[in-house]
Structure 1
Amino acid sequence: MHIFNPKDWKMFTKSAWLVVSIVGLFLVSYFLFILPIIENDLLEGKRKDVSHAVEVAYGIIDSYNQLAENGLISEEEAKQTARKVISEIRYNNDEYFWINDYDLKMIMHPINKALDGTNVASIKDANGVRMFQTMADVVKSEGSGFVEYQWMNPTSKEVESKISYVIGFKKWNWIVGSGMYLTEVQEMLTSLRNNVILVLLIVALIAVIAGYYFAVIISSPIKSLNNAASKVASGDTNIKVDYNSKDEIGELTNSFNLMVGNINNSIEEINQKSKEAETATIEAKKAQQIAVNQQEYLANNTSIILQEMEKFANGDLTVNVKAENSDDEIGKLFNGFNKAVNNIKEMIKRVQEAVQAAASASSQISASSEELAAGSQEQSAQASEVATAIEQMATTIMETTKNVTGATENAKNAGSIADEGGKAVIDTINGMERIADVVKKAAETVEKLGASSDQIGEIIQVIDEIADQTNLLALNAAIEAARAGEHGRGFAVVADEVRKLAERTTKATKEIASMIKQIQEDTNGAVQSITTGKVEVEHGKELAKKAGNSLKLIIESSKKVVDDVTQVASASEEQSTAAEQISRSIEGINSVTQETAAGTQQIARAAEDLNRLTENLQQLIDAFKIDHNYSSAVNNHYTSKRYLN
């Protein structure tokens, strides 16, 4: 039953039972251990007293025996005297000595003289013990010893316990003994027991009073602590126990007050954390909505820019993306993309114009070369005719004059044609330089496109870093949700969704970065192609310069021919004498004409090379669509047709 469970007792009950237990334990210890020890000590004292007394009587007997042995008295006289002296000795008021022999014959009994001379072997005490026989047995076996028995007390006239000490005197065959009644010991024990019980009762009463006092002192603050703890358990933490003491209860009270203070602080902190958790939940919802909006915004704009990039990759330069917000990173990305596309579009237009100009110049060079070749052939034929005419010059002065006049006109025509060829070559060189400038600008524009792609890559890196920060924010939010415990469970779900969004954003930025890298590679390829075209243009410029130099020589030679023919016309009268000189001049003219023909062939080949270069460059441009009506390929087709026609 719970009533006997000490753990369920009140503090006062425990204190009272503690006092009762201590007093009861002392009583039990006294009666079971201390009192028997005292009784043994008293009995041992009695034993010593009676043994000492018997030893005195033994000494008397021995002294008289010495007298007899010394011959001072006879043995019988010594026995009689010793018997008489011993019979008269008393100690402890009433205690006496008796003497019997080894055969159990009573020699002397000062109290019961009727026993003198009788055999006491058959005498028994109240318990049926033959005490004299026992005494004789002890003396015979050990020489001396104690014997306890019941014997009539002459004072109280009652049978009482008695202890006797006997010792044998073998010389005379005597056994002398004496005993003491244990009544005194019992009375002393009873008195001591009663006194101890009285003292213990007084001590117990004092202990109970003191225990009650201390129980009240101990239980009162404990009750206060218990009541305060009950209130704290009920939720009332605005409580303080007043108990000023340096004992354990005082320390317990201080610890309790400190604990209540810590609980109050914890409650305030929990309330604060709860408010923070609610605020964090609201912020998380806002962040979630922002993240959803950003996700939708990013997904829509990513889809838009991917579609436009696909068109751009297919050569459509009419693409243009409109940003919802030009101030954010997506808007900057769209603007950068539009700027790059516009730069490439302008570059393609300029290249297209340069190609058209180059095609036109090439056509003009080709036509001029054909005319120059025809003139050279005609001049060569005329030179042959002049050579033939030299043979007939003597007889046909008039015919020579006509031929010289015709040669003059042809030389003028050849000079004009050569002059036009020189201008065409200069125009070609200028066109080549413009093409080189356009190609250079195209290369710079494409390089700017590469730089814009790098900027787009940096923007993608910023978006990736934003995703990483969002992921870190989601991780911190998950940690705060874990700290908030049950209140932060919903916040943890939100944090997990934010983390997933950050992962998807990171994946999308990586895909965009891969596309940007491909665009950069394509841009680098375009730069290399344009660089190659630039080299070919420089080569064309060199060829055109060579053609220009050749035409310059042709012009100078033509002027020289005109001068020579003029001199021939003015000195026709001297033709007969200067036929040999005219022949040499005609040979020089023929040589110059052949050189002119060779120069025109080189110009023609340079024009063909220039046409091939412009065709290659046109094929590169054909891949781009620069407006919504028709592509550059269509433009170039009609332009080429126009020039060819």
Structure 2
Amino acid sequence: MGFYTLGFPRVRYMSTDVPLRDRLAAHDETSIALGVAGVVSLALGSGLLVYVRFTTALGSSLPVYAQLAAAFGAVAGVLGPGGLVVGLLLLGGGLSALAVALTRDTDTLSDDLADLAETTDRLADGEFDVKIESDRDDELGRLADRLVVLRETLAEQQDAIADAQTTAETAQADLDNRTEAAGRTADAYRRVLRAVADGDLTQRVDPPADNDALRQIGRDINETLDAVERCLDGAATTAEGIEQAAAGVDSRTDQLDAATDRVADAVGEISDGTDEQAATLGEISDEMDSLSSGAEEVAATVDTVAETTEQATEAGTEGEAAAADAIEQMDAVEATTDETMAELEALDEEMDEIGEIADVISEIAEQTNLLALNASIEAARAGEEGSGFAVVAEEVKSLAEETKEAAAEIDGKIQSVQAKTGEAVAGMDETSVRISQGVETVEGAIDQLDDVIDYVEEIDGSMTEINETTEQQADAANAVVEMLDDLAAVSDTTSEAAEAVNDTTVDQRQTVRSVDASASELRSKAAELRQTLTDFETGSGASAASSTTSRTTNTNTTSQTSAGSQSGPSASSDLTAGASGSSSSVAADGGDSWTKDEDEEETGGFQFGTADQ
């Protein structure tokens, strides 16, 4: 520092901020030069020792010894040129003292530095309980204080690291436990879903209580399986109702076919009766012609009166018998016509009942269509696992559409048959009126024949009255011929009506057979649906459709017994009630269960729609 102060202006060394040694040196540049010379001499003498000591351990104490040397130089400068010797002596003593102090301080510094190095190594090895003490107030003391702070900081960090490691190990163990539990739960879910894919719908998962996500998934799986099971039960019940309705249609079509046969037989009898009636009327007409000819012959010649009267008597007797036969035939035709009308009315009622059955089939088809739509939605939600069920739902939907179309066709044919039946009834009414008129005419003819016989018997008593009697007989014969012509026309009309009714019964029989074929196909499709549903096992421990088999068998047996023991409206009522009952059972078994509860809205439940939809 002495070398640097020499170059500064003098005024600076007079400042109170300048160290004392610099101010003393400012008195006389010569004195300063002499002091510097003494310092240089000291440096030359002990430079090597000072250099070694200072560079190894006394870097922080160098300014102290430099100040001491400068002080010696300053003293020499104050004394002036004459005090150089004194300064040198003082410098020599100072150098000796300095050497001793430097040796002692160097050893102390080396020990302190070695202690600090050992302490640092121990701290680096993690010994945070090492004791750090220093009574120094220099840089080494401050370094020791910083090591104490560092030791405490490292100890706190080590404790924090240990706590964090413990927390991490605990969290890892908890995570491992949760992962293992989640894996077991996933395996259980996988086993249940695999069983469901194999058709066992009785399996349910057990949602864990300590995992909200897996618990919610488990609830959703169970609710989905419950909904699918209810859907399958509803489908089985619907298939059962379709089979029952189809069986009832078979029974009713058999009865209708039998009734049609009876109508055809009755119409055949009517046709045969009208043919016989026409033949009888022809014979009566011929006889009346003969009677007229005989009367003319009686009028022409008296010689043949006896023969003519005999022929007239015979003709009258035969005419009376023929007229009586005609009346009986007319009565038979009228009775047959009434019976045919009754059969046609019964046929019309049965057509109404078949129409009701067709309506029931349409309702069942609509319900089946709705069920197939809900099943398609659930199959779409189920994804790939529900693909097989989607095919079944599509088949059910197609069957429902075909059933609905068949029911519409049945309804159209029923309306056609009813229209033709109405025409036949109207024709029968007209025929009945004409037959009544014919009976009255024939009865009048019988009366006339009685008169003819009386006239012929009186011929022998009064020849005068022959001409009058003959004229009356001719007139009566002409009237009978006209009546017979009218009656023949009525017979022709009756025959035409019978042929029309016969054609109607043929069409009706074809319609009945078409209905029977449609019902058989419907029953076959329902059986296929129920057979498909047997692949799924539901909560009852049996297949979805097996629980309905016994009920279907008993119902079919009851329907067949009712069809055999009942006829007409009562049997139809039983069938209608059975079909309605099937529909009600669908609503009762599956209606409420298809509707999602309010609580299920937040748990992932499914809404399939109610049976009323």
TM-score class, shorter-chain normalisation, is: 0.5 to 0.7
Among 377, 387, 390, the alignment partner of 1:524 is: 387
Flag the 1:314–1:589 CA change in 2: closer, same or farther, 3 A.
same
CA offsets 1:129-187 (integer angstroms, 9 cap, x no match): xxxxxxxxxxxxxxxxxxxxxxxxxxxxxxxxxxxxxxxxxxxxxxxxxxxxxxxxxxx
1:360 match: 244
TM-score, scaled to structure 1? 0.52
Distance 2:396 2:386 in 1: 15
Gaps of 5+ in 2: 1-41, 53-84, 120-129, 282-325, 439-486, 558-613
CA offsets 1:303-328 (integer angstroms, 9 cap, x no match): 43344334323322222333341762
Distance 1:241 1:374 in 2: 133
Q: 1:408 aligned to 2:438?
A: no
Among 257, 265, 270, the alignment partner of 2:154 is: 270
1:335 match: 219
CA contact (8 A) 2:428 2:497 kept: no
CA offsets 1:307-352 (integer angstroms, 9 cap, x no match): 4334323322222333341762221122111101100111011111
CA offsets 1:357-396 (integer angstroms, 9 cap, x no match): 1111111112222222222233233323322222223432
1:296-375 alignment, distance < 5 Å: 296-325=180-209, 328-375=212-259
CA contact (8 A) 1:362 1:610 kept: yes
Distance 1:21 1:208 in 2: 18
Q: 1:230 aligned to 2:101?
A: no
Q: 1:425 aligned to 2:358?
A: yes
Distance 2:161 2:555 in 1: 79
- The SS at the match of 1:625 is coil
CA offsets 1:603-645 (integer angstroms, 9 cap, x no match): 1221122122212211221112222343324224324433443
Quote how far apart the aligned CAs of 1:266 are. Answer: 4.5
Flag the 1:326–1:528 CA change in 2: closer, same or farther, 3 A.
farther
2:471 match: none
Quote how far apart the aligned CAs of 1:239 are. Answer: 4.8
Distance 2:266 2:493 in 1: 17
1:555 match: 418
RMSD, aligned CA? 3.6
1:448-463 alignment, distance < 5 Å: 448=381, 450=382
Flag the 1:444–1:209 CA change in 2: closer, same or farther, 3 A.
same
- The SS at the match of 1:297 is helix
Distance 1:627 1:341 in 2: 10
Gaps of 5+ in 1: 1-11, 23-200, 244-252, 451-519
One-letter amino acid matched to 1:377: D
Distance 1:421 1:21 in 2: 132
Distance 2:502 2:224 in 1: 59
CA contact (8 A) 1:359 1:611 kept: yes
CA contact (8 A) 2:369 2:397 kept: yes
One-letter amino acid matched to 1:552: Q
CA offsets 1:187-244 (integer angstroms, 9 cap, x no match): xxxxxxxxxxxxxx9999999767657667876775564344334334444658544x
1:546-625 alignment, distance < 5 Å: 546-574=409-437, 576=487, 577-625=489-537
Flag the 1:218–1:564 CA change in 2: closer, same or farther, 3 A.
farther
- The SS at the match of 1:632 is coil
Q: Whose radius of gyration is greater, 1 or 2? A: 1
Quote how far apart the aligned CAs of 1:541 are. Answer: 0.9
- The SS at the match of 2:538 is coil
- The SS at the match of 1:549 is helix
Flag the 1:258–1:386 CA change in 2: closer, same or farther, 3 A.
farther
Distance 2:519 2:545 in 1: 22
Quote how far apart the aligned CAs of 1:550 are. Answer: 1.0
CA contact (8 A) 1:358 1:435 kept: no
2:48 match: 18
One-letter amino acid matched to 2:409: K
Quote how far apart the aligned CAs of 1:417 are. Answer: 1.9
Between stretches 292-301 and 257-266, larger displacement belongs to 257-266
Among 437, 441, 444, the alignment partner of 2:374 is: 441
1:515 match: none
Distance 2:210 2:158 in 1: 40
Distance 1:384 1:240 in 2: 145
Distance 1:240 1:548 in 2: 120
One-letter amino acid matched to 1:619: Q
Distance 2:199 2:137 in 1: 90
CA contact (8 A) 1:15 1:215 kept: no
Quote how far apart the aligned CAs of 1:283 are. Answer: 1.6
Q: 1:535 aligned to 2:565?
A: no
Distance 1:413 1:20 in 2: 146
Distance 1:15 1:364 in 2: 140
- The SS at the match of 2:203 is coil
Distance 1:623 1:21 in 2: 104
Distance 1:296 1:401 in 2: 95
2:461 match: none
Count of aligned pairs: 375
CA contact (8 A) 1:365 1:424 kept: yes
Flag the 1:552–1:267 CA change in 2: closer, same or farther, 3 A.
farther
CA contact (8 A) 1:421 1:551 kept: yes
Aligned-pair identity in percent equals 13
One-letter amino acid matched to 1:357: G
Indicate the structure with greater strand content. Answer: 1
Among 540, 559, 562, the alignment partner of 1:628 is: 540
One-letter amino acid matched to 2:390: V
Flag the 1:386–1:263 CA change in 2: closer, same or farther, 3 A.
farther
CA contact (8 A) 1:361 1:431 kept: no
- The SS at the match of 2:536 is coil
Distance 2:149 2:48 in 1: 40
- The SS at the match of 1:630 is coil
1:294 match: 178
Between stretches 272-281 and 540-549, larger displacement belongs to 272-281
- The SS at the match of 2:202 is coil
Distance 2:159 2:542 in 1: 65
